[in-house]
Structure 1
Amino acid sequence: MNNFTHFIIITLLLATSCQSASVQETENEMFVVNELILLRTEGMALCELAAAANPSPEVQATCEKLKTYYTSTQEEFTYLCTGRSVAMEEEDFDTIWKQAENYLLKDTANFELAFIELSSDNILRSITLHELIVQRQDWEDIMYYAFKSLPELYYQQGNLSRLKESFYIQKSATSLNVKTAAMDL
């Protein structure tokens, strides 16, 4: 009788630990999907706000490239979210939009640099999450999506780096012209 009781207790403990692991795994999966939603929403908000507020052809071109990335991966991303628990509400999207708007529009003199920095940060966080997903190899469909998206994210990171370099070169040239003009006086 004593051995039978130990057997039942051990079986229950094993079943409980297996259940806890699957619950933890489901929570991790839900967190990852929600983080992907957050990053995509933030990235799109930055693009939409920048495209509407900045007439710079370089920023417009970068926004178009980013929008193309988001729209080209939207169908696969929507499929990825189907049937999964999404913990984001409409108010969360509004909050993300308002925060992006506040950061971008609070200093219009540095709008372009703010867009570059915020978008670069967003893309870098997206790359980091996608790389972790691929390395973990836990969720086949999420891993497949991340694997397919990574090259385009690297490409977008390069575009933003070139835009940043161009911005600083342009700023330096403008500063040099102002100094030269002042010296001529």
Structure 2
Amino acid sequence: MRAALWYGAKDVRVEDVPVTPPGPGEVTIEVAYCGICGSDLHEYADGPHAVPVGEAHPESGVAAPLILGHEFCGTVTEIGSAVTGLLPGDRVAVEPHYRCGRCPRCRAGQYNICGVMGISVRHLARIFESTGRSPARYIMERRLVRAHQELTGPGARQTTIADVAHRWGFSSQAHFARLFRARFSLTPSEARGETTKPIA
């Protein structure tokens, strides 16, 4: 396919790039929309800032040249052999941050300040899962659905809302609660049955 690759500041080249099948922990996404982030503009104007050059990023394994653009949504078209919780045809929004999942910040639910955080910019049509966790952790809709299942399923009372938010990679319980309410029209507490309001 044709793509615009970042080689350096003010050096973006439109080239043919191969589209390969997803690896075991990867999914391929047909992109519907992609935003241009301020970080993309900074990389173009006077980068590199976050783009790994010369040495691959420790979590993504990728270095320039690469395709900018990490705020995207679309439809899953193919899944790798180790992927669970996603199927072709699922419409998804992408959480693009790579994080180690092991450092104190990640374990505290503050993955946005992980010491080795990176952005999924290797390919606009793919999410790369390099930490052995399900790609569902990086896809907002699927993460919210799985969190809802935990809060309403067997054993829901044995876990806290904060634990569920952390397990599915949300930066804080408040952030999780806002997204959850927007998706399901009820709060996480209401989903647990702590009130009688039904799921919309």
Which TM-score applies when normalising by structure 1? 0.24
User: Which one has the bigger helix percentage?
Assistant: 1
Q: Which has the higher contact order (CA 8 A, sep 6+)?
A: 1
Question: Considering only CA atoms, is the larger Rg found in Structure 1 or Structure 2?
Answer: 1
